[in-house]
A and B are shown apart, each in its own frame.
Chain A
């Protein structure tokens, strides 16, 4: 499964910045020095400067927060429930505005494409899978033949080509989540935000989707921010894990995970993996008591 990232079968007409996995590229961010293959990224960097968010109710969700995320990174966000992770993701997506501070995207393309995956699939129940996956392209005014072709390609990538003509209610929970993932990927986003995307799924399906997500990231190279409550999922997926304290969210730990790039189930029992998991756990406990 971990080698299962299929190559795309059609010529991509919107090859904004094609991400060929190019092992000889030299522009390698320093934090990926730990034995990872280098590659060109299409992702965008994010810089948060003294970002603060409080609500009319008096709840302060984000204390002044500084954070820099490099282009093409896979970052996991961890933290106690209600600490402000979803709020942070919404701020970065532009769905919510900070009261203070600024969020900038240095070095990104002029027209940023970003995508958001929610905890639940949130599909349009009256549309077939194909039309659901094509929705973002439809909303941005791309013609029907092209969006159908691209949606089919991305459904193929998440292994749902056979289900294209079905309605969401005819799918299992895991399949629906994959449609949701396909919908997010169809615009070839530079930044992919996922808010506990697989939390409602069973362990097997979740691991399967984790593998698919990681393979897609390795192939495409977009920046990924991934909120999760599962420590092993964070260690398995991410290259960097940021642990927040309880509300208002402050950074308790910011770890570069020293794990090999190729991840499969056998990595979960290695000492290095268990050490990362333990370190994240300790940070969470520290943040809970902070």
Chain B
């Protein structure tokens, strides 16, 4: 009880101290607001532009969710394909690494050409940025199945499907959840980057567009508010994945047993 209270209060205290210092320093040194706005100014901006930020969060959140879902589904399918044979893995794995190294800002214009500006191009950008950790972790999980259990399944001449669904995929769930955790944060980053290039500026602009326009108007306070909202989105997605992982693994996985 005391421990869990401390767990909540300690970071909260650190935050209060940090914000206080920030507020004090910007005011005391008279830092111009367009350079570094004090927290109070960020808060005011957030309040006055609340509807803009809300619409932005919804637009960005939707694109990030679609990209993340694509990553989860296609990433797992790809990992299963790669795990199916050494030959397939050797042939294709280098190109999945390419997915991770490709600078998404550079190919975002291409995504606009292919998918048109707006949600689709942005979601694909989120997908490209976030799919690799899902593939890599799931593949590692599928590959690290207990060899004795593989023997057991062989002894009873289990079919390919039984092996996949009753042994390999369940064994890979801890690694899969790890991959999804990483992917959840990356999906939001991929969405913002995608919006910089491919987002709409009219209609319901995403947070990336809000960041861009407030930067052009030197409204640094609103920029901070938008960035914080985007971080909140990433955090929310991460927390949901974490919760899902805990629920899935509660019963059996050792790493979930440690507090």
Contacts and interface: CB of A to CB of B under 8 A. Distances in A.
Contacts of A229: none
Contact of A93 (B155, B162, B257): B155
A95 interface: yes
B164 to A, nearest CB: 13
Contact of A122 (B148, B154, B253): B148
A122 B146 CA distance: 8
Nearest to B151: A95
B133 to A, nearest CB: 23
Interface in A81-119: 90, 93-95, 114-116, 118
Interface in A123-172: 124-126, 135-136, 138-140, 167-169
A120 interface: yes
Interface in B236-252: 251-252
Contact of A114 (B148, B149, B155): B155
A139 B158 contact: yes
Nearest to A136: B156
Nearest to A167: B251
Given A116-B151, A126-B170, A167 B252 contact: yes
Contacts of A114: 155
B152 interface: yes
Contacts of B251: 125-126, 167, 169
B156 A124 contact: no
B157 A126 contact: no
Q: Find the residue from A94, A120, A125, A136 having the highest chain B CB count within 10 A.
A: A125
A122 to B, nearest CB: 4
A268 B71 CA distance: 63
Given A122-B146, A124-B149, A139-B162, A168 B155 contact: no
A120 B148 contact: yes
Contacts of B158: 139
A95 B154 contact: yes
Contacts of A138: 166
A93 B156 CA distance: 11
Interface in B106-157: 146, 148-149, 151-157
Q: Find the residue from B148, B152, B153, B167 having the highest chain A CB count within 10 A.
A: B152
Q: Find the residue from B155, B170, B252, B257 having the highest chain A CB count within 10 A.
A: B155
A276 B167 CA distance: 43
Nearest to B154: A95
B148 A118 contact: yes
Nearest 7 CB-CB pairings of A with B:
A125-B252, A139-B156, A139-B158, A122-B148, A136-B156, A126-B252, A126-B170
